[in-house]
């Protein structure tokens, strides 16, 4: 399983349905802090994104724990 797939699975285990985007690999907390989180849409239907994580249930520590579990199953 690719790194990007594991990132998505780990985040969705913490909060189903959350919308986000990222480029590259999420390996460190600095990488995690570059994730773009969708917070809504503007009046023209364009997604509003922020790198400030609006989801308290998705901390880097919790993400890393779920992410690391996926590597065990290789």
Q: 73 falls in which pLDDT band (50, 70, 90)?
A: low
Question: What is the arithmetic mean of pLDDT over 3-16?
Answer: 95
Between vectors from CA 5 to CA 3 and to CA 18, what angle results, nearest 5°? 125
Q: What is the layout of strands, in order, in the sheet containing 20-21?
A: 20-21, 36-41, 47-50
Determine if the pTM surpasses 0.85. yes
Question: What is the arithmetic mean of pLDDT over 4-20?
Answer: 96
Question: What is the arithmetic mean of pLDDT over 21-41?
Answer: 96
At residue 47, what are phi and psi to the nearest 5 degrees?
Answer: -60, 140
Question: What is the arithmetic mean of pLDDT over 27-38?
Answer: 96
Quickly count: other Cβ atoms within 10 Å of residue 35's Cβ.
Answer: 20
* Alpha-carbon span 61 to 66, nearest angstrom: 9
């Amino acid at each position: 399983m690719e790194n990007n797939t594991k990132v998505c699975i780990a985040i969705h285990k913490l909060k189903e349905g959350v919308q986000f985007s990222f480029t590259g690999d999420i390996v460190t907390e600095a990488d995690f802090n570059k994730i773009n989180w969708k917070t809504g849409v503007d009046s023209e239907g364009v997604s509003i994104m922020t790198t400030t994580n609006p989801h308290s249930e998705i901390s880097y520590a919790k993400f890393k724990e779920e992410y690391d579990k996926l590597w065990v199953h290789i």
